[in-house]
Amino acid sequence: MPRPEICGQCLRHPPAFDRVIAPFIYKPPVDRLIGQLKYNNRLAAGRTFAKFLEQPIELLNEPLPEALIAIPLHQQRIKQRGFNQSLEIARPLAKRIHRPLLTNLVQRHKFTTPQTGLTGAARRKNLRGAFSITTPLAHRHLALIDDVMTTGSTAQELAITLKKAGAARVDIWVVTRVDSKAHKQPHR
């Protein structure tokens, strides 16, 4: 992205998450690479995306989160796809920045319809109550890792869940973000 900015929607209605890092806008060629990872089992793309995320994280010049969490998929979705694309990005990123990856802290217990094509309001409704914490929270500053942020609904719902469980700060680290000017849906 050319420069960090806070959108008007976030200024009017601050989200539950504290910061978003998204090194790319969702457009060619990154959108195609995301599709290769997600739908064509090109798992090596996860390592490439981890490298893309590492640079803006290092430039923050702030304390890193205590631990990382890949946005969890429902077990049924994992069976359909065969893997969790967010985990394929988070695993190498955690190693690169020397942070633990918490794979069992959060569970997506509600099977939801795919978010693609849903409006912002439909996305929020679709995800309401989808996540739960499975073990006591031992970390106060966490980063959620995902491939694409469209409206922010998934990030918002998971950040709310983590903050209710005791997290003080939740950052969102995504490879790419849909351009809010091109995307006319409200934040999710």
Domains delineated in the chain: 13-177 (3.40.50.2020)
Q: Mean pLDDT for each 10-residue chunk of the chain (188 residues)?
A: 59 87 95 93 95 92 94 92 96 97 91 70 73 93 96 93 97 92 45
pLDDT of residue 1: 41
**pLDDT value at position 13?**
77
* Residue found under tokens 């539950």: 16
pLDDT value of residue 90: 98
The two beta strands, 169-177 and 141-149, are parallel
Backbone φ and ψ for 125, nearest 5 degrees, come out as -65, -45
Q: How far apart are CA 1 and CA 116, in angstroms?
A: 23
pTM equals 0.87
Residues 6+ apart with CB under 8 A from 61: none
Rounded to 5 degrees, φ, ψ at 19 are -155, 150
Instruction: Provide the pLDDT for residue 21.
Output: 94
What per-residue confidence (pLDDT) applies to 2?
A: 46
Distance between CA atoms of residues 182 and 27, nearest Å: 11
**pLDDT of amino acid 25:** 94
Q: Which pLDDT value is given to residue 12?
A: 77
